[in-house]
Structure 1
């Protein structure tokens, strides 16, 4: 059985004893019923290299100590460097969708290697959130991202950016290749230029982008691309496009 893998948002080092946060304690002790001496794996998403030109990420292996009814600690014993990040950096601009579709999209996109996610409000977006309710939703989405990293073995935790209007996202400066998934596009992802390591991918909500939004995206330099002859749901479109991009530029071979 694989050790439970836990994200710890604090500096970590060999020989240190760290407190598990409430979520991690609940999962390891109350759900999995682990006890003193059982092995766990921690990661914090930090670059551990002193060389700014290279990155070093990995997992800290340790064992549970001082387990009680309300708390537990981990004694860190070793560090294992590993690299599971794709050479392709993908920033997903995802139209906010209803219910658990957005949760599903974020979870699976992280498993597929997305680096940054910006939730977008569009004309046909069926979710209206603002203020405290919106912040709670962003926090919930970030927890889903962390959980996906724990499950998939990723050491770098993608960021869920604050949700913004589509036109604000389109106006942001970037050197990335900008793509909009469109069922009537003339170009396939597989026919894009050969060399590329950064992509901005725009995916509409359930109802898709309207004609004006598509024109805005085109005027902002986004290229309409096609995945196939069928119209895909928003969550299917995002994950299929990410997979195709990883096959074209990334680490799915």
Structure 2
């Protein structure tokens, strides 16, 4: 069944008004007709089974048939702090991280990041990544659309990390898988966790030390193999999803 997102303000007692680009998608891409059913999320973990009643060039009116709460969201809030990678790797990272249940994504400028974005390019990239997050959330049946934040400096990201209950920073020089297990298993349901991932060149030693001193980041190992930047964060999200899954 086709899945769409709206804001709570678009939800009325008996119907939902869909606007924006989804209208064109429903009418001209999917070629849906009056009477067809679709699923709508309000971004607050509530879903609606609806039936199309009216369509215009600008809106789709969908009557509410059934209301239910979603159970697709993880039991903990996870924030992926991703060092800016080269090429279009960030597109793939955003898509897969959303599928794996990430709550928020923070693109992050680090010392070894090859990609340098000015304000104009960064805004354009962020808008693209947010659109990818929305599409992935629809596909995965998420109850919310994870937010892709504006690009942050490493210091800004650490300040954000200080607001979270746990911060993990995979690092190729970290040792001790048993300590890594202990750190990841310390996350409890209802808590929050930040995952700091370096770009292709990884983190510099000073950055890891700064993350530990300023945000309480725990260096962890991901095993005997060195993972690419587009794999490392997804590895940690997968482990946390396994640990937290009801």
State whether TM-score is above 0.5: yes
Q: Is the 8 A contact 1:187 1:224 kept in 2?
A: no
2:49 to 33, 56, 61: 61
Match of 1:5 in 2: 3
Q: 1:238 to 1:121 in 2, by over 3 A?
A: same
CA distance in 2, matches of 1:193, 1:94: 18
1:214 to 208, 211, 224: 208
Give the secondary structure class of the aligned counterpart of 2:40. strand
Give the secondary structure class of the aligned counterpart of 1:99. coil
Match of 2:239 in 1: 244
Give the secondary structure class of the aligned counterpart of 2:211. helix
1:148 to 120, 124, 136: 136
Q: 1:92 to 1:17 in 2, by over 3 A?
A: closer
Stretch of structure 1 that moved more, 184-193 or 233-242: 184-193
Match of 1:53 in 2: none
1:111 to 96, 99, 111: 99
How many angstroms does 1:130 deviate by?
2.1
Q: Deviations over 1:147-184 (max 9, x none)?
A: 11111111122221221111221134324111101122
How many angstroms does 1:135 deviate by?
1.3
How many angstroms does 1:244 deviate by?
1.3
Q: Deviations over 1:59-107 (max 9, x none)?
A: 1111123235665332222212222111121111111112321011111
* Structure 2, gaps ≥5 residues long: none
* Structure 1, gaps ≥5 residues long: 47-56
1:86 to 58, 71, 74: 74
Q: Is the 8 A contact 1:4 1:28 kept in 2?
A: no
Q: TM-score, normalised by structure 1?
A: 0.86
CA distance in 1, matches of 2:141, 2:29: 20
What's the Cα RMSD here?
A: 2.0
Equivalence map 1:129-208=2 (5 Å): 129-172=117-160, 173-188=162-177, 189-192=180-183, 194-196=185-187, 197-208=191-202
Q: 1:72 to 1:246 in 2, by over 3 A?
A: closer
1:25 to 1, 23, 26: 23
1:232 to 227, 235, 243: 227
Q: TM-score, normalised by structure 2?
A: 0.88
